[in-house]
């Protein structure tokens, strides 16, 4: 059996058994002791936690309570942040895992997988919605414990198992500098960089991948390479957005540091329109306001357009005081308040800024803004935290997820009415969000130029936002009585999400999609994810991994 082929193809070959395989199902002919010796005993036998649900008793209830905690998930090599996707994949255990501590362990695992025809799966943060860090009957290379951090001058060097909460603590809270990373605190550094990567303040600092200065990577031949603009420059370029787990196992990264804005802040509000016609007007008013006042490097994050005629604003700002932020938004909210028969502000507006150094400061958040964070409830894990708004991503079984970049040309006067109509029509089948920090139009030219010099789809540099629509459920898992996902609802949600995004594709037919937040069943994913960069990525794949040892769903193939 060619084990590396498992999960290597499209959706028809990617369906996983309802319950994960245990270590006892691993092929017995494989000399695991050889790998155990080569990694100084760091080879683990994995057992699926979901097997505790055979009788759906107290242990099963405890498991489903624990998988609301992203740190509990991240600390267990047998779990993934997303538990599956309807008609696509279900989280399952690998045959064995190497709990790597350094690049030598990774090289030993890669050589072993190649020599014994095993599919390697790679997991740091384990956040992949498409299950790319998950495969049954595989050898898991688990980098979670590789989280050393060193800050020197204008750069930070991080082990590939580092999560962004650790990176921001070392760089921003402790040293008052900034590193462009992800918005979610428990996402892995290496996976985000390889996907391109966006954070709340990307409209100012660009993609996370653009800050990559150097990487250490183990390629399919088992070599430990240090790649940068001078050494293996093509491979270095591919790591800047070419897809996680595709070109090798990244073990270390060096990222550029930036000056930290003095102030970081947020704007939160919900506005409900009285009728469909009023909501159409509200959408148009907001887009005009965005185009005139927010389409610049200061503003990021999202606005949600909902089918119940609510506009939910959850945006962030950088480089502005609280008074300056309030002054920017005052005309918009004054206009809303001036039409009480049409619009009702049902929540907020809450507008304010804080010292930039405190944005990821857990202690400050707990003392001054505790409602924004969640803490790890486990004993001796009190320093772990995540954003309250990210809790609905933890342990989710996805029904659907689609994204689309919207070009900034749609904000022009000649096209804006078509955009407004498309946004309103897209909100009818299902709600969606515009993530303004995930489109770089309006960013400083240096940030745009750096993104152009990466493997990320060039569409990001001319897009003002990334539209995202998704749905899923928590507390479910296929094959467990009483916890089966509602597949009828899953299929209905997938149809509604697709219908919503199709309305937007009318005005952005070639917008492209973000590799990390996209449809598992994405048609023509190569050009959708990477645009004109895809042929070059294929050439690099053929050079460094000609036999597709590293195969992930919707990844670059040789």
CATH C-level class of 3-144: alpha beta
Q: What is the mean pLDDT of the chain?
A: 94
Query: Looking at the predicted structure, is the pLDDT value of residue 125 above 50?
Result: yes
Locate tokens 């990021």: which residue? 300
pLDDT digits (tens, 9 = 90+) for 269-298: 999 999 999 999 999 999 999 999 999 999
User: Residue 494 is encoded by which pair of tokens?
Assistant: 């997938």
User: What are the start and end residues of each CATH 3.30.465.10 domain in the chain?
Assistant: 149-259
Q: What is the reported pLDDT for 19?
A: 38
Q: What is the pTM of this model?
A: 0.94
Query: Looking at the predicted structure, is the pLDDT value of residue 29 above 60?
Result: yes
**Mean predicted confidence (pLDDT) in 211-218:** 98
User: What are the start and end residues of each CATH 3.30.70.600 domain in the chain?
Assistant: 262-359
Instruction: Please state, in angstroms and rounded to a whole number, the distance separating the CA atoms of residues 301 and 207.
Output: 14
Using DSSP, state whether 395 is helix, strand or coil.
coil
CATH architecture of the domain 262-359 equals 2-Layer Sandwich (3.30)
Q: What is the reported pLDDT for 6?
A: 31
Query: Looking at the predicted structure, is the pLDDT value of residue 377 above 90?
Result: yes
Q: What is the reported pLDDT for 56?
A: 82
pLDDT digits (tens, 9 = 90+) for 495-509: 999 999 999 999 999
CATH C-level class of 149-259: alpha beta
Between 27-36, 59-68, 383-392, the lowest mean confidence (pLDDT) is in: 27-36
User: Residue 149 is encoded by which pair of tokens?
Assistant: 């951090």
pLDDT digits (tens, 9 = 90+) for 357-373: 999 999 999 999 999 99
Q: What is the reported pLDDT for 26?
A: 47
pLDDT-above-90 percentage for the chain: 93
Cis? peptide before 349, omega within 30° of 0: yes
pLDDT digits (tens, 9 = 90+) for 307-331: 999 999 999 999 999 999 999 999 9
User: Residue 313 is encoded by which pair of tokens?
Assistant: 């604003």
Sheet holding 224-227, edge to edge: 149-152, 155-159, 249-256, 212-218, 224-227
DSSP string, 160-212: TT-BHHHHHIIIIITTSEE----SSTTSBHHHHHHH----TTHHHH--SGGGE
Query: Looking at the predicted structure, is the pLDDT value of residue 118 above 70?
Result: yes
Locate tokens 């319950």: which residue? 19
pLDDT digits (tens, 9 = 90+) for 166-200: 999 999 999 999 999 999 999 999 999 999 999 99
Instruction: Please state, in angstroms and rounded to a whole number, the distance separating the CA atoms of residues 399 and 238.
Output: 30
pLDDT digits (tens, 9 = 90+) for 8-26: 333 333 333 333 333 344 4
Query: Looking at the predicted structure, is the pLDDT value of residue 250 above 60?
Result: yes
Q: What is the reported pLDDT for 16?
A: 34
Q: What is the reported pLDDT for 476?
A: 97
Please enumerate, as own/partner, the contacts of 286-290 that have beta carbons within 8 Å and a separation of 24 or more: 286/311, 286/332, 287/411, 287/416, 287/419, 287/420, 287/423, 288/416, 289/331, 289/332, 290/411, 290/436
Q: What is the reported pLDDT for 28?
A: 56
User: What are the start and end residues of each CATH 3.30.43.10 domain in the chain?
Assistant: 3-144
**Mean predicted confidence (pLDDT) in 120-125:** 96
């Amino acid at each position: 059996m060619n084990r590396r082929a498992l999960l290597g193809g499209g959706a028809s070959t990617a369906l996983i058994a309802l319950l994960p395989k245990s270590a006892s199902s691993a092929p017995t002919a494989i000399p695991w002791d050889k790998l155990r010796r080569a990694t100084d005993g760091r080879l683990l036998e994995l057992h699926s936690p979901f097997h505790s649900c055979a009788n759906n008793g107290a242990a099963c209830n405890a498991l489903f309570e624990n998988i609301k905690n992203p740190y509990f998930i991240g600390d267990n090599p047998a779990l993934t942040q997303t538990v599956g996707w309807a008609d696509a994949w279900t989280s399952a255990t690998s045959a064995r895992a190497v709990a790597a501590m350094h690049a030598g362990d990774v090289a030993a695992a890669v050589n072993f997988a190649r020599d014994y025809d095993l599919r390697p799966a790679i997991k740091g943060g384990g956040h992949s919605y498409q299950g790319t860090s998950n495969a049954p009957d595989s050898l898991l290379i688990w980098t979670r414990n590789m989280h050393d951090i060193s800050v020197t001058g204008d750069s930070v060097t991080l082990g590939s198992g580092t999560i962004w909460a650790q990176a921001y603590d070392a760089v921003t809270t402790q040293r008052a500098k900034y590193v462009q990373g992800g918005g979610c605190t428990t996402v892995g550094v290496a996976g985000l960089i390889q996907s391109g990567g966006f954070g709340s303040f990307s409209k100012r600092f660009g993609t996370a991948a653009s800050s990559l200065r150097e990487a250490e990577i183990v390629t399919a031949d088992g070599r430990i390479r240090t790649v940068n603009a001078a050494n293996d420059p093509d491979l270095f370029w591919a790591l800047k957005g070419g897809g996680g787990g595709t070109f090798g196992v990244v073990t270390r990264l060096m990222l550029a540091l930036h000056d930290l804005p003095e102030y970081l802040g947020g704007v939160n509000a919900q506005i409900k329109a009285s009728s469909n016609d009023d909501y159409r007007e509200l959408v148009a008013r907001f887009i005009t306001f965005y185009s005139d006042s927010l389409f610049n490097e200061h503003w990021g994050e999202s606005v949600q357009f909902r089918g119940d005629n609510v506009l939910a604003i959850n945006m962030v700002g950088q480089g502005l005081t609280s008074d300056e932020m309030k002054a920017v938004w005052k005309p918009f909210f004054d206009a809303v308040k001036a039409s009480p028969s049409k619009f009702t502000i049902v929540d907020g507006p809450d507008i304010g800024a804080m010292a930039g150094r405190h944005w990821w400061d857990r202690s400050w958040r707990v003392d001054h803004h505790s409602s924004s964070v969640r803490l790890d409830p486990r004993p001796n894990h009190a320093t772990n935290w995540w954003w309250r708004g990210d809790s609905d991503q933890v342990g989710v079984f996805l029904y659907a997820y689609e994204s689309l970049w919207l070009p900034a040309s749609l904000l022009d006067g000649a096209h804006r009415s078509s955009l407004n109509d498309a946004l309103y029509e897209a909100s009818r089948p299902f709600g969606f969000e515009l993530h303004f920090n995930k489109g770089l139009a309006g960013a400083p030219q240096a940030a745009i130029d750096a993104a152009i010099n990466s493997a990320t789809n060039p569409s990001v540099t001319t897009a003002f936002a990334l539209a995202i629509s998704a749905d899923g459920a928590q507390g479910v898992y296929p094959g467990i009585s009483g916890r089966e996902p509602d597949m009828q609802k899953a299929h209905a949600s997938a149809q509604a999400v697709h219908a919503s995004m199709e309305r937007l594709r009318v005005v952005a037919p070639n917008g492209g999609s973000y590799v990390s937040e996209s449809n598992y069943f994405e048609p023509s994913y190569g050009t959708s994810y990477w645009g004109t960069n895809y042929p070059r990525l294929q050439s690099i794949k053929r050079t460094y991994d000609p036999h597709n040892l590293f195969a992930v769903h919707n990844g670059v193939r040789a």
